[in-house]
Structure 1
Amino acid sequence: MAASYRQGTVKACGPDFNPESAAQAFHKAMKGLGTDEKAIINLLSGHCNSERQEINAISKSCFGANLEDKLKGELGGHFLELCLCLLMPSCQFDAWCLHQAMKGIGTKEIRLIEVISTKSNSEMATIKTEYKNIYGRDLEGDIVSETSGHLRNILVSLIQGRRDEECYLNSDVMKQDVKDLFEAGENMLGTDESVFNKVLALRSVGHLQEVFKIYRQQHQQDLEAVIASETSGDTKEAYLAIVKYIKDPAAYFAECLHKSMAGIGTRDERLIQIVVDRSELDLKDIAEKYMEMYKKALPTAIADDTSGDYRKLLVRLTNLN
């Protein structure tokens, strides 16, 4: 969605990349008694996802086993989970995250919201295709069966991938959207969520950014405050996620990371998935915004809430130049 320049932490090796040499290094790290976890950490964090896929393919050809199977025999816990996520093809990762959020008893609505509300039209199309290919199921059908009410409506709208991506801004349409949002929220008893749904799911990023500004100017209140007072539960979280991400993607994910580590215990699955998903996109921007918002370095925050080799790999992923 966001058009601004973004900086990830994980970069490609460039012309020095040698997949066979890297596969040999992985094999050496897991050969014989014991495991060289430091080498595994360096290899996974030192290569981008496309390079990891090449290393994995070469490893199977050279040593008769892919890296996932070898790691499962050597590692465990959250460290293994993080390693396996890093080895997953990036085009399949979001589909896997959505499936994880819906499988078993209960649904992790916050993960559905985080993934679906932050994807472009083309990314959403790829996710739906991969979901069907991997699981033999329709993403929309699973979302309809696992969610309900206005949350289901906004998620189904977003996965259609019909957001306007034109750069042209129409001031008349922006003014009308501001009027409609005011009439559907603050200026009526109750809330007409269908209006919020239509505007937030279909309008372009640039259009919505201007709508948010105009709303503030006309009504002396941010749309986030209106959403917080006019909606509740997961519907509120979904609307707020869209608004916050469109306003400032780095700030949105910095807040998500903070929430994954706030309070007693760490929501490790959420932490892992955000770090892996954003590592090659804008994790450096997110880390800078995290420091600005919470006055603490993201690697330090992660180190304080995790342990062992799991901590070492997470910290390295968030602290690469």
Structure 2
Amino acid sequence: MAYPGYPPSGGYPAFPGYPPTGQESVYPPAGQYSYPPVPGGYPPAGGGSTYPAAPPAAGYAGTAGYPASGGYPGAPQAGGMPPYAGAPSGPGFGVPPAGPGFGGYPQPPAQSYAGGGPAQMPVGYPSGQTPSPVPGLPAAMVQCTQGTIQAAPNFDAGRDAEILRKAMKGFGTDEQAIINVVANRSNDQRQKIKAAFKTMYGKDLIKDLKSELSGNVEELILALFMPSTYYDAWSLRHAMKGVGTQERVLIEILCTRTNQEIREIVNCYKSEFGRDIEQDIRADTSGHFERLLISMCQGNRDENQTVDYQKAQEDAQRLYQAGEGKLGTDESCFNMVLASRSFPQLKATVEAYSRIANRDLLSSIDREFSGNVERGLKAILQCALNRPAFFAERLYYSMKGAGTDDSTLIRIIVTRSEIDLVQIKQMFSQMYQKTLATMIASDTSGDYRRLLLAIVGQ
């Protein structure tokens, strides 16, 4: 089942803070989505804010230390990592050194964005907005994300189908020929190749590939040939099918997709598998985690890109009173704010919360919650602050230590390959002082390694 025009070529719409460098930033550039001026500078002196002042109107270039190295103080560490050494506590506490982990999102690099000169976004956007070639995405943001896979020029579906047929015909398989095709065609072009293959040879390309391949390289190639929406729906179904539930898969997909994508996934889940995703979630999860996922399935997050700073202040106070400011936790308050507010609004709420609580909101969630609901809430905030860093971290922990979580590695590489894998690679290098390609090369082998590296790019 094909999904024309999916995914949107410009990536995810809920990303207003991109700097002109093309890299996602935790902070909006001054003059665009910058915070309102505050006498004496922003943030107010002694306010306990963990964020540095907004950059000068000239943009990010040459703005040393913005954001301050290391990201957010007090942020919880993934994988049992030790807390930052020597991080002071109390009002106005400082910023810890840079490093991996949920809070260690470094400053995105100031180079290599797709499309040339800086995209200028009118002040006060979206009022006075210009039409966008990508539905739901401001025109000035279309070039801010970049996939490693682009649609091939001079594409000929019949020619590619013939190449794949020759690669699988007779004794043995020419895996390199298959890799050369699938790693250099967009998902939409792969759907056309499947159709051309059946027209030309009266055979199903997917069945032929399955008969010729095996193991991880088979899983990777079959994932590449699935329409994007179907692959998300398929991944969710398999995460809840059979004994046990892969909660991290549910979080990774439902907490990071746009409203339109979630609605398409929900509809695809129903049409392809004959099941209601909400019923499956209720059967496989429980408590506050179940409620968070059901909220995500509605695809009703506010996507207005204008930030209401008064509401951000009110939400921050509400979250503080629901957690740090009382005995016990009002989980429904956290669910309401994090499930319904736009990502730019959540960024402003995070800033306001740090001034009120003298603590990072991620850190407070770590203290107030546990288990899957904690991971889900933090995933939402991490995506609001720096989505490529969230996926870079997921990739790192899929390969860190003994063994490799190949399903996670494959799923993220495939789903982000046409959206923001360029930015994910750059964040990966900054967070872990090694390239994504280097870590993939050391953790995989054979045709599986070759295909992953072909998608990721060197």
What TM-score do you get using the length of structure 2 for normalisation? Answer: 0.69
- Measured on the aligned residues, the alpha-carbon RMSD in Å equals 1.0
Tell me which residue corresponds to 1:131: 269
How many equivalent pairs are there?
A: 319
Partner of 2:234: 96
1:183-239 per-residue CA deviation (whole Å, 9 max, x = no partner) reads 111111121110100000000111101001111123221111111111001111001
Aligned to 2:209: 71
Return the offset for 1:165.
Answer: 1.0
Say whether residues 1:248 and 2:261 are aligned partners. no
- Residue 205, structure 1, aligned to residue 343, structure 2: yes
Indicate which of 15, 19, 24 corresponds to 1:2.
15
* Bigger proportion of residues as helix: 1
Paired with 1:137 and 1:185, the residues of 2 have a C-alpha distance of 36
* Bigger shift: residues 311-320 or 106-115: 311-320
Counterpart CA distance in 2 for 1:90 and 1:114 is 15
Gaps in structure 2 of 5+ consecutive residues: 1-13, 19-143
Indicate conservation of the 8 Å contact 2:309/2:348, yes or no: no
1:184 and 2:197 are equivalent in the alignment: no
Task: Please tell me whether the aligned partners of residues 317 and 356 of structure 2 are also in contact (alpha carbons under 8 angstroms).
Answer: no
| Bigger mean CA deviation after superposition, 18-27 or 165-174 | 165-174
Greater CA radius of gyration, 1 or 2? 2
Residue pairs, 1:135-214, within 5 angstroms = 135-214=273-352
Paired with 2:213 and 2:299, the residues of 1 have a C-alpha distance of: 39
- The residue aligned with 1:37 is 175
**Superposition misfits of 4+ residues, deviation over 4 angstroms:** none
Deviation at 1:170, TM superposition (A): 2.2
The corresponding residue for 1:233 is: 371
Identity across matched positions, percent:
44
Which whole-Å CA distance do the structure 2 matches of 1:91 and 1:174 have between them? 33
Specify the SS of the correspondent of 1:11. coil
Q: 1:294 aligns with which of 422, 432, 436?
A: 432
Distance between the aligned counterparts of 1:262 and 1:182, measured in 2? 35
Question: Which moved further from structure 2: 100-109 or 211-220?
Answer: 211-220
Q: Say which SS state the counterpart of residue 148 (structure 2) adopts.
A: coil
Aligned partners of 1:276 and 1:148: how far apart in 2?
30
Q: CA deviation at 1:91?
A: 2.4
**Structure 1 residue 40: Cα displacement:** 0.7
The aligned residue for residue 13 of structure 1 is 152
Question: What is the match of residue 61 of structure 1?
Answer: 199
Q: Distance in 1 between matches of 2:400 and 2:286?
A: 28
- Determine helix, strand or coil for the equivalent of 1:248: helix
The aligned counterpart of 1:116 is 254
